[in-house]
């Protein structure tokens, strides 16, 4: 039997930050060893919230692929493509929309939350409500077995499974029921302790140089009870320490933990160690990134080839879908 298939997408809505790398992309990279991976830029999904500001999508698109390649997504093992270049996604979205009860979409907790969060973007639209139907089309199109997503995406995946079940009930069985592959890595918060996001201005970017890292990490809040170096600190409540847990070697983490608690290390020094660790982590990524930034034609070729490959799969699925529906 061939490898099981993984399908996942990311919206091109801005620069790649450490949260994307640590939370998503390194996981995507590791899945390549075991699965047949399809990764795509969900530019139509981006449009559901960025329809007033479409330039951000084009600006981010190529750079997003550059960043994926730099983190280690390998076009020999994964297929990388752009959602909107495969028009079949729109067609399947339309057909699935016919069988999707409104209640499933209206009850979707992510929908309600985002309605509140994105007030100024005015997402009270038909397209935004249908976001999970488009996502179902993305996944079912390629008969994905697994979908690596964060916890916040679980309701969307559940809707995909419900739509597939309903399709099978109404017509006949065509799709595997996709399962979530939860990313069980600790969440990397922004430099202010909130969710890392461009809009909060608290993100560390893939392109940040050592100077920028030093400034951003230098401004991070540490244990708020720790006013002076002579006061003992509590790493458990310190954002800097939560970064160390991800980027620093275990024995050094243990030492920092101990020294902080007995006021043996100051926050300035502790942050300096972190700057060094994050810089080391980013260095090989940035090196590859600089290569691709000056070899854009290679990147374009990879995306075009990937898109051609998946188009054939998408066309096969559409034939099967229409046959099942007798249309």
- Which residues are at the interface with ligand SF4 (CB under 6 A)? 222-223, 226, 233, 235, 238, 240-241, 256, 260, 265, 267, 270-271
84 binds ligand TRP (CB under 6 A): no
Concatenated DSSP letters for 133-170? HHHHHHHHHTT-SEEEE-GGGHHHHHHHHHHHHHHHHH
Q: Which is nearer to ligand SF4, 180 or 220 (CB)?
A: 220
Q: Which is nearer to ligand TRP, 203 or 274 (CB)?
A: 203
Angle at 172 between CA 167 and CA 175, to 5 degrees: 65
Q: Which of 262, 258, 256, 289 is nearest to 274 (CA)?
A: 256
How near is the Cβ of 110 to ligand TRP at its closest, in Å? 9
The count of other CB atoms within 10 Å of the CB of residue 123 is: 18
Q: Choose the one of ligand SF4, ligand TRP, none that binds residue 222, judging by a C-beta under 5 to 8 angstroms depending on kind.
A: ligand SF4
11 binds ligand TRP (CB under 6 A): yes
Q: Which is nearer to ligand TRP, 11 or 17 (CB)?
A: 11
The CA–CA distances, whole Å, from 91 to 85, 217, 238 equal 12, 46, 49
37 binds ligand TRP (CB under 6 A): no
* Count of residues in contact with ligand TRP, rule CB under 6 A: 14
8 binds ligand TRP (CB under 6 A): yes
7 binds ligand TRP (CB under 6 A): yes
Task: Choose the binding region for ligand TRP from 5-13, 57-65, 67-75, 280-288 (rule: CB under 6 A).
Answer: 5-13
14 binds ligand TRP (CB under 6 A): no
Q: Which is nearer to ligand TRP, 100 or 135 (CB)?
A: 135
State which of residues 18, 80, 141, 147 lies at the interface with ligand TRP (CB under 6 A). 147
First to last CA, the chain: 32
The CA–CA distances, whole Å, from 40 to 73, 254, 311 equal 12, 39, 12
How near is the Cβ of 9 to ligand TRP at its closest, in Å? 4
73 binds ligand TRP (CB under 6 A): no
Cα 42 to Cα 12: distance, rounded to the nearest angstrom? 7
Contact 222, 239 (CB under 8 A): yes
Backbone phi, psi, residue 94, to 5°: -65, -45
Q: Which is nearer to ligand SF4, 128 or 243 (CB)?
A: 243
Cα 260 to Cα 233: distance, rounded to the nearest angstrom? 5
Q: Is 110 exposed, middle or buried (0-12, 13-18, 19+ CB in 10 A)?
A: middle
42 binds ligand TRP (CB under 6 A): yes
How near is the Cβ of 204 to ligand SF4 at its closest, in Å? 16
How near is the Cβ of 256 to ligand SF4 at its closest, in Å? 6
Contact 23, 192 (CB under 8 A): no
Q: Which is nearer to ligand SF4, 126 or 228 (CB)?
A: 228
135: left (phi over 0), alpha (psi -120 to 50) or beta: alpha
Q: Which is nearer to ligand SF4, 66 or 260 (CB)?
A: 260
How near is the Cβ of 59 to ligand SF4 at its closest, in Å? 35
Residues at the site binding ligand TRP, with contacts judged by CB under 6 A: 7-11, 42, 45, 135, 138-139, 147, 149, 153, 156
């Amino acid at each position: 039997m061939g490898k099981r298939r993984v399908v996942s997408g990311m919206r091109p809505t801005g620069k790649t930050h450490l949260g994307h790398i640590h939370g998503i992309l390194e996981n995507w990279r590791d899945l390549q060893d075991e699965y047949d991976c399809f990764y795509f830029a969900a530019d139509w999904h981006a449009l559901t919230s960025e329809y007033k500001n479409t330039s951000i999508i084009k600006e981010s698109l190529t750079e997003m692929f550059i960043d994926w390649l730099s983190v280690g997504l390998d076009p020999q093992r994964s297929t990388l493509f752009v959602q909107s270049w495969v028009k079949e996604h729109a067609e399947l979205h339309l057909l699935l929309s016919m069988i999707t009860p409104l209640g499933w979409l209206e009850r979707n907790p992510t929908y309600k939350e985002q309605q509140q969060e994105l007030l100024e973007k005015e997402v009270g639209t038909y397209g935004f409500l249908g976001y999970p139907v488009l996502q179902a089309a993305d996944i079912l199109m390629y008969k994905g077995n697994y979908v690596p997503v964060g916890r916040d995406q679980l309701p969307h995946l559940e809707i995909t499974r419900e739509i597939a079940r309903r399709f099978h009930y109404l017509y006949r069985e065509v799709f595997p029921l996709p399962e979530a592959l939860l990313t069980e890595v600790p969440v990397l918060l922004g430099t202010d302790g909130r969710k890392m996001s461009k809009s909060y201005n608290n993100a560390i970017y893939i392109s940040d140089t050592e100077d920028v890292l030093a400034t951003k990490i230098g401004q991070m809040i540490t244990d708020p009870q720790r006013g002076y170096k002579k006061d003992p600190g509590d790493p458990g409540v310190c954002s800097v320490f939560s970064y160390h847990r991800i980027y620093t070697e275990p024995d050094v983490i243990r030492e920092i933990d101990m020294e902080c608690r007995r006021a043996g290390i100051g926050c300035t020094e502790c942050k300096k160690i972190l700057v060094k660790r994050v810089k080391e982590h980013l260095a090989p990524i940035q090196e590859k990134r600089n290569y691709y930034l000056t070899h854009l034609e290679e990147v374009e070729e990879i995306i075009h080839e990937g898109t051609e490959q998946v188009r054939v799969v998408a066309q096969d699925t559409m034939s099967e879908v229409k046959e099942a529906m007798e249309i």
